[in-house]
Structure 1
Amino acid sequence: MKIGSFTFVLHSHIPYTRKAGMWPFGEEWLYEATSESYIPILDILNELVEEGISPKITMGFTPVLLEQLTDKYMNERFERYLFHKIDTCAKEMERFQDNRDFRRLAHFYEEYYTRILDSYEDTYSKDIVKGFRELQDNGHIELITSAATHGYLPLLSTDSAIRAQVHIGVQSYERHFKRRPRGFWLPECGYRPSSKWKNPINGIVTERPGLERFLIEEKLDYFIVDCQTLGGKGKYLNMFPMQGYSLNKNNQNEVKEGTKDGELEHLGFKPYHLLDKNGKITVLGRNEETGIKVWSGDWGYPGDGWYREFHKKDHLSGLQYWRVTSKENDLATKKVYVPEAAESRIEENSEHFAHLILDLLTNFRNKTGESGIVVAAYDTELFGHWWFEGPKWIKSTIKKLHGLGIEVTTCSQFIDEHPAIKSITIPESSWGEGRLHRIWQNVETNWMWKKIYECEERMEKVASKYIDASGESAQMLSQGARELLLMESSDWTFLTTTRQAVEYAAGRLNEHYARFNEILDALEKGDKIDLERMMEKDNLFPNLDFRIYAKVEEKKEIK
């Protein structure tokens, strides 16, 4: 008997950058992620299959990312990007004729980008989405969906806005992967239960359904929450004691009040049901300790001194010639990267991680007598783009887990074989700082939410008013919906709060806000606009039907 189960969950997302800038903010985000993360990971998954190992990872792509990965314009630009990278490497070898280390690294990168180009053109025929789809069709991985444009669902002000993000996410998945999804990634692991919700901008309090209702409507089977939401090490529950978990009172397997923190830690190793009046859905928890080993710059593997340094780039070429060295070293004193030395660290770190998984599962079985699962969830772009050696580490880890007798599985396979038997309620939460919403909603972003809420309310009203619209009027309404979806992307508030791209984020939100209102103003006044130009620029979700925004039920205001 296997000691327990494990799955990697990789969440892939890049905001909509098509014709919205190149560098430092814009399309290059997608091209970097594709060449450094998506293709390398697709390569190692196929390598594992060729070696007789089914990788069984669970991998999500946001619909807005899928739209860009399959867009002809973006694919042509990506090829040009790779040719430019290869040409840059050749020029760097000439530039560093007298610097053996840098010349060797320039040649290393030339070979790297040439391999990526060969994979893209020859192995995957310029269609990496198809490459992932074939792995799923052959039973080697599971692909899951997410909100249409990565809207931060707990803070959206209308139920129709949430319903649209979820429905369009499912619809886009079906179009690209030729089947319905079973799993759903909540953007930023942001969750809100059924409760009285206070609009953070106007202060109005309304009764709102939990996010699970919208997932159940789409017949989804499960979603994933942050580790602290299901107990973790009790840290989150200690910070917010009134929001602790509770098992459904009608369940005969109820865990009694007064459960000790030590028992709370085990909640994350099992699936649970969340109940709604329309049905139920399974929830899985992201494991905390595995997250720290990869996410943390201080305690995680990517901080190893022999791995490539992400933050230091050559001022002319942008190539990264340095290694982490140590956390005490500033960028000026980083030492030269040695790829061969990093290889040995990959083996050691993957060995350590595999035994961590074994220890976690063994401890869970010894204390509960049950078979559990470790869900190790990360942003896909961490592997390759941020942590250059990450894809090779994933491959090495999967092989070592198999060698230790651990069941490497997907989320769906696990819940099919070990279905939830208990129901649970969970608190409002996210995987952001403080485990709530302050990264996305704060004094610096409130002006953004004010505009988003204004447009959400307006979209719901016009969709209900013009529900029988056809022809150009229907096209205008659907394009207005696209602009609203792009406004709702959580990236704009995140980039503002973290100060990574404040002006770019503000400009993007304001552009979509302006186009949204231009379209709906013209519709209501009967004016003519250049709709074709707008539809060409923001051309995602071709099957979008604005009627998803029509009001379904009245929100009840609380006095």
Structure 2
Amino acid sequence: MSKPRVISILLNLHKPFVRHPEASQALEEQWFFETLSDTCLPLLELFDRLDAEHIPFRMALALSPTLCHLLRDELLLERYLQFVDRQIEFGVQELDRSSSDPELHRLALEFYDRAVDKRVLFTERYEGNILKIFDYYQRKGRLELLTTAATYAFLPLYTGYPEAIQAQMEVAIASHRILFGRTPHGFWLPELGWSPEIDRYLRSYNFSYTIVDSHSLLLGEPGASRGSFYPVSTPTGVFALARDFYARRELEGLQDPLYRDYYRDAGYDLPAESVKSFLEPSGARKATGYKYWAVGDKSKNKQLYDPALARERAREHARSFLDSRMSRLTAAGEHQDGIPLSLCAYDGDSFGRFWYEGPDFLEALFREGAKQEGLQFMTPVEYLYKQDALGFETMMPEFSSWGTNGYAEMWLDASNDWLYRHAIRSLDRMIELAERFPDDSGLKERALNQAAREILLVQSSDWPKMLYEQKNSAYARNQIETALRNFTTIYEALGSSYISTEWLTTLERRHNIFPTINYRVFRRKH
């Protein structure tokens, strides 16, 4: 009798804290709107369909505390609906413009209908509360929800400052408990950034397991003799699961000519007067969501997108992907004791926002998997609880990430190294404030809590990544400098025993993340 084969799908859903109440339409807020529209809602629709048809599915989502905050922010949710309304209004215009072109008209109608459906889904079916529905499926045993660092800091670069790691984890745990009423079993390392020093923090905060990239186990000490198909136990007893290298590589190569082109949008193609509602005050254009073109063959002219053909191709790719996973799991099981695991961990936006057919791929994967004898989809914690943990090797994974070349290059190079001397100096000052004012209340406590928020925002890994990739570099630099400036203003005000209530109130309303934060998370643990 062959061994059971287990696949675990894990999607990481994260967005940086981008919120601009001072601007009526901030270009960068659209990153969040697109994730909500094109990733979160399609995933929930997928869950609804599978659940209604009793198709067994299980998967995990790592929800960052910053994304969770954005999904509950009234201002941003109101702006999201305005964004969808603009898409609907633009669709009416496009239906009229394309009336003489049947193929284009069919596409315009598809995107118009999707925009209308999203508004109805969000406001009526899900009552504007996406997190509540994620929690519903968690309680049904279909989902496992993990947390990650409070502001998605690249933790290996802060291991010299225990207070920074502790604050990132404590704030994340508190946020998760408030939202979902339970402590998460798993901790998603931001950018899969692991270093041996992180092990003791995961144990201290009672996390059962974490995820690392495959080379972290293969190059660890003494090295995982059973490869990346089996978890290991770290020296402190935390389980480390490695993502499937081949599963990652196979999906990264899925650039089929039939799939929709994310980057070509009517907002960039049409004359400015036709896309007025998607123009910045500066004249900069924004995506409308009406993307009429397929990726196409680079050697040929672009072709119009055909949704039906693209969905069928996604189903074909899902069947091929599943066959590949089954084959590798069978081979792994023949050579080792224990039940092998294929952990398929990806960035969530790869399934919907950037890869429009991604949710169709996932749906086909679960439907096809239900027909396979000996295959089970499990969440990571479900898999771990069903294994004999005493059979796991004990080892220390190697320093690693899922960034360029697999280490820390994306978050520490000549493009972004300047920020760390400022971040560390401000962190020293935050620790000093937490020690100097252990029991303050009133206005001073509000100021200290806001100082803690600003320090956490500085540590976000999104900003150095943008600087490294030279994408939105000016915006990333401004976000870093603004948070540092806000912190310094508070630090100096506390030193002089005077702080402007009006200024602080305005800042609290603008940077309103983690409303229940307690600045004492930055105190030294003696």
Query: Taking structure 1 as the reference length, what is the TM-score of the superposition?
Result: 0.87
Indicate the residue corresponding to 1:486 in structure 2.
457
- Could you tell me which runs of 5 or more consecutive residues in structure 2 were left unpaired when the two chains were aligned: 276-287
C-alpha spacing 1:230/1:326, structure 2 compared with 1 (3 Å): farther
Residues 490, 499 of structure 2: 8 Å contact kept: no
For 1:452 and 1:335, how far apart are their aligned partners in 2?
A: 48
> Deviation digits for residues 34-63 of structure 1, max 9, x if unmatched?
000011001101211111123210111100
Three-state SS of the structure 2 residue aligned to 1:425 is coil
Shift of the alpha carbon at 1:245?
Answer: 3.0
Distance in 2, matches of 1:22 and 1:351, equals 45
Q: Distance in 2 between matches of 1:419 and 1:142?
A: 21
1:22–1:45: structure 2 CA closer, same or farther, 3 Å change rule?
farther
Pairing partner for 2:380 from 411, 416, 424: 411
Matched, 1:475 2:435: no
Q: Which runs of structure 2 are paired with 1:188-337 in the superposition (5 Å)?
A: 188-193=191-196, 210-231=197-218, 237=219, 244-246=220-222, 264=225, 266-276=226-236, 280-294=237-251, 296=252, 300-301=253-254, 303-314=255-266, 315=268, 316=270, 317=275, 318=288, 319-328=290-299, 333-337=301-305
* Aligned residue identity for 1:4: R
- Alignment partner, residue 510 of structure 2: 537
Q: Deviations over 1:78-116 (max 9, x none)?
A: 111111111111111112223322222111101111111
**Is the 1:136–1:143 Cα contact (8 Å) retained in structure 2?**
yes
User: What residue identity is the alignment partner of 2:382?
Assistant: Q
The separation in 2 between residues aligned to 1:523 and 1:54, in whole angstroms, is: 56
Paired with 1:59 and 1:371, the residues of 2 have a C-alpha distance of 23
1:547 pairs with 2:520: yes
Alignment-derived partner of residue 282 in structure 2: none
Tell me which moved more, 149-158 or 384-393: 149-158
After superposition, the Cα gap between the structure-2 partners of 1:83 and 1:124, relative to the gap in structure 1 and judged at 3 Å, is: same
- Deviation per CA, 1:333-361, whole angstroms, max 9, x where unpaired? 32110111112102211110111111111
Q: CA deviation at 1:528?
A: 2.2
Aligned-pair CA distance for 1:375: 0.3
The structure 2 residue matched to 1:396, chosen from 348, 356, 364, is: 364
Structure 1 residue 162 corresponds to structure 2 residue 162: no
Q: Aligned ranges for residues 347-366 of structure 1 at < 5 Å?
A: 347-366=315-334
Contact (CA 8 Å) 1:63, 1:149: kept in 2 or not?
yes
What secondary structure sits across from 1:275 in the alignment? coil
| Alpha carbons 2:39, 2:353 under 8 Å: kept | yes
Partner residue in 2 for 1:207: none
Between the aligned partners of 1:246 and 1:109, the Cα distance in structure 2 is 53
* Cα pair 1:308 1:387 within 8 Å, conserved: yes
1:375 equivalent among 343, 355, 363: 343
Cα shift at 1:417: 0.3
Within the alignment, does 1:97 sit opposite 2:99 as a pair?
yes
2: distance between equivalents of 1:23 and 1:213?
43
Work out the CA distance in 2 between the residues paired with 1:453 and 1:220. 26
Q: 1:3: Cα distance to partner?
A: 2.5
Question: Which residue of 130, 133, 137 corresponds with 2:132?
Answer: 130
User: By how many angstroms is 1:123 displaced?
Assistant: 1.2
| Matched-pair contact (CA < 8 Å) for 1:364–1:370 | no
Match of 1:7 in 2: 8
User: Match of 2:401?
Assistant: 430
> Residue 25 of structure 1: CA displacement?
4.1
SS at match of 1:350: helix
Paired position in structure 1 for 2:51: 49
Secondary structure of 2:414's counterpart equals coil
Where does residue 338 of structure 1 map in the other structure? 306
Aligned residue for 1:455?
A: 426
Distance 1:160 1:358, change over 3 A: same
* Counterparts of 1:528 and 1:426, CA distance in 2: 47
| Structure 1 Cα separation of the partners of residues 298 and 462 of structure 2 | 28
Could you tell me how far 1:552 is from its partner in structure 2? Answer: 2.0
Aligned twin of 1:184: 187
8 Å Cα contact 1:271/1:419 also seen in 2: no
1:446 paired residue number: 417
Give 1:61-140 correspondences, 5 Å limit: 61-140=63-142
383-392 vs 212-221, greater mean Cα deviation? 212-221
Q: Which residue type is aligned with residue 233 of structure 2?
A: H
**Is the Cα contact below 8 Å between 1:146 and 1:169 reproduced in 2?**
yes
Q: Secondary structure at the match of 1:33?
A: helix
The range that moved more, 462-471 or 285-294, is: 462-471
1:22 deviation in Å? Answer: 7.7
AA at the equivalent of 1:15 = P
Structure 1 window deviating more from structure 2 (78-87 vs 27-36): it is 78-87
CA contact 1:8–1:57 (8 Å) conserved in 2:
yes
Distance across 1 between alignment mates of 2:489 and 2:132: 37
Q: Give the C-alpha shift of residue 374 in structure 1.
A: 0.5
1:390 shift after superposition: 0.3
Residues 1:504 and 2:475 are matched in the alignment: yes
On the 8 A contact 2:258/2:310 being kept in 1, the answer is yes
2:58 and 2:379 in contact (8 A); partners too = yes
Unaligned stretches of 5+ residues in structure 1: 194-209, 232-236, 238-243, 248-262, 554-559
Post-superposition CA distance 1:224-248 (Å, at most 9, x none):
00011122xxxxx4xxxxxx4316x
Cα distance in 1 for partners of 2:43, 2:371 equals 21
Are residues 158 and 327 of structure 1, via their aligned partners in 2, closer, same or farther at CA, if it must alter by over 3 Å?
Answer: farther
Deviation at 1:23, TM superposition (A): 6.8
Q: Deviations over 1:422-447 (max 9, x none)?
A: 21111111111121101010111011
Once residues 476 and 160 of structure 1 are traced to their aligned partners in structure 2, the CA distance between those partners, rounded to angstroms, is 19
Equivalents in 1 of 2:316, 2:208: separation in Å? 36
Aligned to 1:206: none
TM-score by length of 2: 0.92
Which range moves more in the overlay, 59-68 or 455-464? 455-464
AA of the residue aligned to 1:311: Y
Measured on the aligned residues, the alpha-carbon RMSD in Å equals 1.6
**Shift in Å at residue 328 of structure 1?**
4.2
Kept in 2, the 8 Å contact 1:270–1:420? The answer is no
Distance in 2 separating the partners of 1:489 and 1:23: 23
2:92 counterpart letter in structure 1:
A
Partner SS for 2:62: strand
